[in-house]
């Protein structure tokens, strides 16, 4: 874990953390699936005063790419993006579990196209793991000016990481089931076509 800057804690900090977590939780509690992720990143950015926030998953079958689940940008929109992981802040999040910089994030990763495009100064990222402990994605907030309260931002993201991981694991299971059903339908369709062709061929043979 890397933390570039710490801020004083105490009861006031704990109360502020709880207030922000509860505010976000109230909004996203009734949402599921992709709607959950979009609602989560928007309200995390608002609660933490971040310019950008996004949730992304590690592409199934490889640990070298990220696929965006939801993106929020107050200044611009990256839309649905895919990102190569090597030499990026996202890759460091997946390796370390969490990373946080109050400033200079884009300078720490000068070849990270996402950070350069966003003009990132502050950054906090949290890794998401499934129930088996497998790394499946991350949550990230980015600021274009120095992030004043890194511990608060990190603690708020950590509070939502379990729910986000659960929703992402659910999504991946549903995607796998849908792909399995599509393969099954394709198999049945091809088998039916083959049987129809054989029957037709057999009928023609009888009438010759």
| Class of 2-168 in CATH | alpha beta
CA–CA distance, 191 with 137 (Å, rounded to integer): 38
Give residues with Cβ within 8 angstroms of 135, minimum separation 6.
58, 63, 94, 127, 128, 129
Give residues with Cβ within 8 angstroms of 65, minimum separation 6.
58, 59, 82, 83, 84, 85
C-alpha distances in angstroms, 194 versus 34, 169, 205?
Answer: 39, 37, 16
Give the pLDDT confidence score for residue 166 in this predicted structure. 92
Do residues 90 and 97 lie in contact, with contact meaning Cβ atoms separated by under 8 Å? Answer: no
Give the pLDDT confidence score for residue 165 in this predicted structure. 94
pTM listed for this prediction? 0.75
CA–CA distance, 18 with 192 (Å, rounded to integer): 59
Residue pLDDT tens, the chain, 208 long:
555 544 444 555 677 777 777 777 777 776 767 788 998 999 899 889 999 999 999 986 655 788 999 999 976 655 667 888 888 999 999 999 999 999 999 999 999 999 998 999 999 999 999 999 999 999 999 999 999 889 989 988 998 899 999 999 998 888 766 565 555 455 566 656 556 666 556 655 655 5
Give the pLDDT confidence score for residue 119 in this predicted structure. 92
- CA 208 to chain centroid, in Å, comes to 63
Annotated domain spans of the chain:
2-168
Instruction: Tell me the two tokens of residue 120.
Output: 């990132």
């Amino acid at each position: 874990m890397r933390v570039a800057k710490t801020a004083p804690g105490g009861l006031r900090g704990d109360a502020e953390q709880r207030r922000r977590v509860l505010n976000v939780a109230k909004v996203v509690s009734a949402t599921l699936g992709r709607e959950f992720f979009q609602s989560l990143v928007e309200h995390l950015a608002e609660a933490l005063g971040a310019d950008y926030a996004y949730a992304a998953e590690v592409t199934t079958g490889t640990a070298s790419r990220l696929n965006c689940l939801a993106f929020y940008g107050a200044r611009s929109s990256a839309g649905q993006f895919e990102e190569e992981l090597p030499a990026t802040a996202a890759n460091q999040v997946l390796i370390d579990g969490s990373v946080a910089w109050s400033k200079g994030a884009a300078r720490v990763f000068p070849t990270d196209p996402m950070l350069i495009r966003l003009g990132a100064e502050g950054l906090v990222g949290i890794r998401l793991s499934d129930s088996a402990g497998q790394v499946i994605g991350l949550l990230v907030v980015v600021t274009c000016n120095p992030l004043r309260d890194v511990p608060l931002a990190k603690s708020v993201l950590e509070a939502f990481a379990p729910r986000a991981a659960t929703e992402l694991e659910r999504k991946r299971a549903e995607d796998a089931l849908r792909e399995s059903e599509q393969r099954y339908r394709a198999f049945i369709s091809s088998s039916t076509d083959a049987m129809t062709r054989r029957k037709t061929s057999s009928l023609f043979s009888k009438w010759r």
